[in-house]
Structure 1
Amino acid sequence: MELTETLALKFGVPVEAFRLILTLIAGYPIAAIYRKVIVNIETKALHHLFFAFCGLSLCYFNYGKDTYHSLLAISVTFVLVNLMRGAPHLLIGINFVFHMSYLLLGYYFTASNEYDILWTMPHCILTLRMIGFGFDVADGLKPADQLSKEQKETALRDLPSFLQLLAYAYFPSGFLVGPQFPYRRYQRFTNGEFLEHAGCVDAGLQRLGMGVLYLIVCQVGLSYLPDNYFLTPEFVQVNFIKRIFLLGFWAKFTLYKYIACWLFAEGALMCIGFTYKGKDAQGQPDWFGCTNVKLMLLETGNTMEHYVQSFNVNTNQWVAQYIFKRLKFLNNRNISYAAALSFLAVWHGYHSGYYMAFVMEYMIVSTEKQIERVYTREVLPKYGETLNNSMIYKILNFVALKSYNIVYMGWCLTSFVFLKYERWIKVYAAVNYFGFIYMIIWACMFRGYRFLVGKESRNVESTAAVTGKQSTY
């Protein structure tokens, strides 16, 4: 039995997960070696070779011969951008279809009932990186006045060598669980543009410390609330209110597993000096340019939209830049948003749970906006001053929003974790389908509200027409 398997068995974790954690932690000594030995070497090819070698070695450590999948994908993109630069739209299309098809075929041949740590996990990160790279190369062929501000910052006028593309794709601490970043950031980093700024190591070690804390809380929490507990008859026998809160706390602990991995990766990227964003409000260097989770918003937010804004930030930004905003020609934000969520669902795989999770995200965020609209229009104008001066209301409002935040997080994450229909529907049944029921009740109430408001508006307009006065409703 190899050393990693022995240690994994000793710590009581799957060997694949243990290798993943070791790989993320390896980013810190790699960062130290780069800053001490490589950073001042003038030959940039050695920088690229260092990153390519480290990334490939870590990939092989995790996935062995399956590393060829990522090598093949990178090679195909390199060939495409060199052969098809004269046809940018065709380049984008073929590059997109190839990477998504390869990823989905990988899912098809490796899928099981669980979230597996296989070669497909880093490959989904690579898929977005190579698709974005294709877009950036195509943008580099357009006149500057046809590009948005974001596109101007990422467009590539000159193509990198194959070694540079390998180093970008396998960048240590960035290839395994993200975050996403454009080639231009890697280019600026290796050109030394961020070297003059201090404080990256301190920021990175703080992020590492937060990652350790979240991982400990995750392990302790899930030891009391393991996934399988929610499929047992014992869970169904628990009081309903307790059931939905237990599911909510389980979801928080489950999220912490992802957050810990992202924090480990971000911390290593900070330590190497990769994540410079600019100056903050106090004029100090801001090292949060590749942040994948906004911890303050995540822990203090009260709505599902806050979760969306604070969780998997870089992936959401990637989808916004390369999918949502490029569908602007449809002239319909709802269609573009639905298309972006559909892309994310397909990108995750075939399991019905992914699709249900993103459908629920769309429905719940839309419902929250409707409630906010009614509250802003009907409640605040009449009772806003009274409510704002009431301590009892503030306390009740805080408790209600926090309870909603916890409870509905459990509802939303259920299908994402349990994946198969027969598993997540069993958990939904165990909590009496409350998420569906409450949203249906609200949809009926909101429809009635819109009807009444529309009727009132028509009456006001009719009165104004009769009296010859213009409606100000």
Structure 2
Amino acid sequence: MDGLFNSLADSLGASVDQIKLIACLLVSYPLGSIFVRVPTVGLKHAFSISVTLFYLLGMLNMFNALMQLMLDILVTYYLSKGMTDKRMPWLVFIFVMGHLLINHTIRSLFDLSYETMEVTGPQMILVMKLTTFAWNVHDGRRPADELDKWQLERRVTDQKFPSLLAFLGYSFYFPGFLVGPFLEYAEYDALVSEKLFKSATPPPHLHDPSFVPQRLLPSGRKRVGYFKLVSGLVYLGLFVTLNGKFSFAQTLQPWFGRITLAERLFFFQIAGFFERSKYYAVWTLTEGAAILTGLGFTGYNEEGRTLWEGAANVRVLNIEFAENFKMLLDSWNMKTNVWLRECVYKRVTKKGTKPGFKSSMMTFAVSAIWHGVSPGYYLTFVFGGFVTSAARLVRSTVRPLLIPVPGQHTTSRSFNKKLYDWLGVVLTVMLVNYAAAPFMLLNVEDSLKCFSRVAWYGYFIVGGSLFFFNAGGSRALKKAQAKRVKDYQDKLAEEKEREKEREESINGTAYESESGSGISTPTTSEETHVMPIAELIAQELEKHSEKTL
């Protein structure tokens, strides 16, 4: 089998491990269709375990990695089952993260290429699964009124603690084992038991009520799954054919320094897309395979078509055309973002307090360690933190000046808002490319050389923005916001006053009479009837009541 992979690698100009990884992802498609036809829950667990063992031993020759991963799985299982102390999830977290950090360090010391498949790839996915499971079990032992919605829906009680076979099936869920998607145990249990599909019948107005489906599994699974397959192969083709010409590594070559700055900046943005296309490819391919097993079903749209969005790890269009950095981050490596939020950000926050600086920094540290020990990762994350801070300031100070003030109605965006949105798209993609370069180049020396070749534009944009906002820009913009709101309110008050005067001129003339204030309303050309204010108010109230009935 290795001979076939070697021949393919030579003909395609890729590494053998990359070819094997893609082969595993592609084989998962027909196996996913078999998985949904396995008759019992226990056999589904066994099927998933068997497929993953075939990948690790038969395809990737990773026996040593399998032994290490089994250690993490068994330690997590028995700690979660036998230790009821509140420290249990933290012990699991420290053990599996510490083990991952050791392997990241070994990989760095041996200077292994990112193209080399070894234990850290699947271990990163497994760490998310195991730590989440430990917290789910901990939540299952807490009072329900202490839990938020996410924790309550995913908790694992002692009464429903899985068997070892079920836990191995969860840990070795084959479509997502090598590169994701990560999923919680409750989601896996709902998948294999088909509880995930019990709401699969569309609303009555969207189908014939007399129709009884032959299977519980909703339709549309193959339509979406194979669309993901085609999309993933397109991204893979783009990466294989063009990444060699358009990559961040090319910025280090002598020829790159000889072209104009404008050409360098343009090339840099193109390279960023092709660097991302590798991740688009593997995440889209694995999403499609997961969908074929039934994972990711999220209900129906208004037309009654099934939605399969729960297994997504990336939203490509939201990244390439993100109007702001938050939108981009929410659409990239989405499952990891959920894990960091639920298992780190919320958990390090003391009960009764809101997450703050400490929670953010702890989450940043865990994210960095989880990715690896290469210095380039830390350059990326530190810069990303500053970009996020600058983006929040822009959103809170500049954006309110370009959208309608509270209470103001408009049918379309203003030219300034459209300009703001398009500038946001351009700047967001430029900054994410700048941030991603060290992530791909890995070391500080190459990263700084790359930055110098593109005139350090990311540091100038973000640093200049932060300086402006902290040097009085935020204060001035917030004053402008307040003035804009006040001007609008004054305008409304003037319009109401004019409307009141107009109504008075139509309905009658206000005057003072001996009997008190009143409104004179013409009845005929020769007489005037005086209506007291109390009667006028009562009449207006009656009119209002009639309108609302």
1:228 aligned to 2:244?
no
Unmatched tracts of structure 1, length 5 or more? 461-473
Q: Distance in 2 between matches of 1:400 and 1:296?
A: 16
Pick from 396, 399, 403: which aligns with 1:376? 399
Match of 2:162 in 1: 160
Shift of 1:332: 3.9
Match of 1:19 in 2: 20
Q: Distance in 2 between matches of 1:368 and 1:455?
A: 16
Cα pair 2:181 2:335 within 8 Å, conserved: yes
1:31 aligned to 2:32?
yes
Listed as ranges, the matches of 1:144-155 within 5 Å are 144-155=144-155
Q: Distance in 1 between matches of 2:404 and 2:170?
A: 54
Pick from 343, 358, 368: which aligns with 2:381? 358
Match of 2:368 in 1: 345
Shift of 1:379: 5.5
Q: Distance in 1 between matches of 2:304 and 2:142?
A: 35
Change in 2 beyond 3 A, CA 1:192/1:403? closer
Cα pair 2:154 2:185 within 8 Å, conserved: yes
Match of 1:216 in 2: 237
Cα pair 1:302 1:402 within 8 Å, conserved: yes
Change in 2 beyond 3 A, CA 1:154/1:2? same
Pick from 168, 178, 184: which aligns with 2:180? 178
Match of 1:247 in 2: 268
Cα pair 1:114 1:418 within 8 Å, conserved: no
Match of 1:438 in 2: 461
Match of 2:208 in 1: none
Shift of 1:380: 5.4
Shift of 1:420: 1.0
Listed as ranges, the matches of 1:411-430 within 5 Å are 411-430=434-453
Q: Give the alignment's TM-score, normalised by structure 1.
A: 0.88
Shift of 1:429: 1.7
Change in 2 beyond 3 A, CA 1:366/1:208? same
Match of 1:465 in 2: none
Counting helix residues as a fraction of each chain, which structure ranks higher? 1
User: What do the CA deviations read for 1:166-194 (whole angstroms, capped 9, x no partner)?
Assistant: 11111111111111110111111111223
Shift of 1:110: 1.7
Match of 1:469 in 2: none
Change in 2 beyond 3 A, CA 1:412/1:100? same
Shift of 1:451: 7.4
Pick from 286, 289, 304: which aligns with 1:265? 286
Match of 2:89 in 1: 92
User: Residue type of the partner of 2:15?
Assistant: P
Unmatched tracts of structure 2, length 5 or more? 198-215, 484-549
Listed as ranges, the matches of 1:54-65 within 5 Å are 54-60=51-57, 61-65=59-63
Match of 1:468 in 2: none
User: What do the CA deviations read for 1:326-362 (whole angstroms, capped 9, x no partner)?
Assistant: 2342534343233222211111111111111111222
User: What do the CA deviations read for 1:77-120 (whole angstroms, capped 9, x no partner)?
Assistant: 12212221x21x22112101100010000111122264243211
Helix, strand or coil: the match of 1:363?
helix
Q: Distance in 2 between matches of 1:277 and 1:83?
A: 34
Listed as ranges, the matches of 1:113-124 within 5 Å are 114-115=113-114, 116-124=116-124
Q: Distance in 2 between matches of 1:451 and 1:128?
A: 39
Shift of 1:268: 0.7
Helix, strand or coil: the match of 2:47?
helix
Helix, strand or coil: the match of 1:173?
helix
Match of 2:107 in 1: 110
Change in 2 beyond 3 A, CA 1:237/1:305? farther
Identity over aligned residues, as a percent? 25
Q: Which 10-residue stretch deviates more, 132-141 or 293-302?
A: 293-302
Cα pair 1:248 1:409 within 8 Å, conserved: no
Q: Distance in 2 between matches of 1:146 and 1:291?
A: 29
Q: Distance in 2 between matches of 1:49 and 1:189?
A: 14
Shift of 1:280: 3.0
Q: Distance in 1 between matches of 2:479 and 2:435?
A: 36
Shift of 1:141: 1.0
User: What do the CA deviations read for 1:226-257 (whole angstroms, capped 9, x no partner)?
Assistant: 44311112212221122122112111111110
Helix, strand or coil: the match of 1:277?
strand
Cα pair 1:129 1:182 within 8 Å, conserved: yes
Helix, strand or coil: the match of 1:224?
coil
User: Residue type of the partner of 1:435?
Assistant: G
Pick from 276, 279, 286: which aligns with 2:297? 276
Q: Which 10-residue stretch deviates more, 114-123 or 12-21?
A: 114-123
Match of 1:206 in 2: 227
Change in 2 beyond 3 A, CA 1:456/1:9? closer
Cα pair 2:345 2:363 within 8 Å, conserved: yes
Change in 2 beyond 3 A, CA 1:381/1:272? closer
1:83 aligned to 2:82?
yes
User: What do the CA deviations read for 1:293-327 (whole angstroms, capped 9, x no partner)?
Assistant: 12331233133222201111111112111112223
Q: Give the alignment's TM-score, normalised by structure 2.
A: 0.76
Q: Distance in 2 between matches of 1:139 and 1:332?
A: 19
Helix, strand or coil: the match of 2:174?
coil
The alignment of Structure 1 onto Structure 2 pairs a total of residues equal to 448
Change in 2 beyond 3 A, CA 1:184/1:332? closer
Cα pair 2:251 2:450 within 8 Å, conserved: yes
Change in 2 beyond 3 A, CA 1:108/1:240? same
Shift of 1:223: 3.0
Shift of 1:377: 4.5
Shift of 1:394: 7.2
Shift of 1:456: 7.1
Helix, strand or coil: the match of 1:326?
coil
Q: Distance in 1 between matches of 2:106 and 2:342?
A: 30
Helix, strand or coil: the match of 1:410?
helix
Change in 2 beyond 3 A, CA 1:291/1:388? closer
Q: Which 10-residue stretch deviates more, 245-254 or 225-234?
A: 225-234
User: What do the CA deviations read for 1:397-425 (whole angstroms, capped 9, x no partner)?
Assistant: 56533432332222010111111111211
User: Residue type of the partner of 2:338?
Assistant: Q
1:309 aligned to 2:365?
no
Helix, strand or coil: the match of 1:198?
coil
User: Residue type of the partner of 1:110?
Assistant: R
Task: Please tell me the root mean square deviation across aligned C-alpha atoms, in Å.
Answer: 2.5
Cα pair 1:245 1:406 within 8 Å, conserved: no
Cα pair 1:266 1:290 within 8 Å, conserved: yes
- Tell me: higher relative CO, structure 1 or 2? Use CA pairs within 8 A at least 6 residues apart: 1
Indicate the structure (1 or 2) with the bigger Cα radius of gyration: 2
User: Residue type of the partner of 1:448?
Assistant: A
Change in 2 beyond 3 A, CA 1:239/1:403? farther
